């Protein structure tokens, strides 16, 4: 397994809506993420800066890298684009984070 972490930016005032949408994550998207080899995926909010911090484990980098091309992933991004900073294709602007410590 490979660990990956990144940060994204939530628009101010959108934390409750972000949580609501993720609490009701589409079952088919949940399955796509699992089928893509994603495990232990968590997203955390820094309430002062509105930054989202995500951490996950992946089985296979190529399956993970293929997710942006999947139509369901693109639909989710379009659905979320009104409450977070995104690229023109609605993919979230995400900044990779460098792992500095890990305790297993």
What the chain holds in terms of domains, given with CATH numbers, is 2-96 (3.30.70.100)
Q: What's the pLDDT score for residue 14?
A: 98
pLDDT, residue 104, reads 86
Please tell me which residue in 22, 40, 70, 87 is annotated as part of the active site: 22
Alpha helices, H only, the chain: 15-23, 27-35, 61-66, 71-80
Q: DSSP 3-state helix, strand, coil percentages of the chain (rounded to 5)?
A: 35, 30, 35
| pLDDT at residue 21, as a whole number | 98
22 is catalytic: yes
Closest CA to 37 of 6, 75, 3, 79: 3
Q: Tell me what pLDDT residue 93 has.
A: 98
- Cα–Cα distance measured from residue 10 to residue 92, given in angstroms and rounded to the nearest whole number: 10
Tokens of 39: 């495990």
Identify the bridge partners of residue 8 per DSSP, sorted by sequence position: 52
Mean pLDDT, 10 residues at a time, over the chain (104 residues)?
A: 97 98 98 97 98 97 96 98 97 97 92
**Cα three-residue angle 56-57-60, rounded to 5 degrees:** 130
Closest CA to 36 of 7, 56, 19, 55: 56
């Amino acid at each position: 397994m490979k660990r990956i972490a990144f940060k994204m930016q939530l628009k101010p005032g959108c934390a409750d809506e972000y949580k609501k949408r993720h609490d009701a994550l589409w079952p088919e998207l949940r399955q796509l993420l699992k089928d893509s080899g994603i495990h232990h995926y968590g997203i955390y909010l820094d309430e002062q800066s509105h930054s989202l911090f995500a951490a996950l484990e992946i089985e296979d980098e190529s399956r993970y890298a293929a997710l942006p091309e999947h139509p369901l992933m693109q639909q989710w991004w379009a659905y979320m684009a009104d409450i977070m900073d995104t690229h023109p294709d609605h993919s979230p602007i995400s900044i990779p984070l460098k792992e500095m410590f890990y305790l297993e």
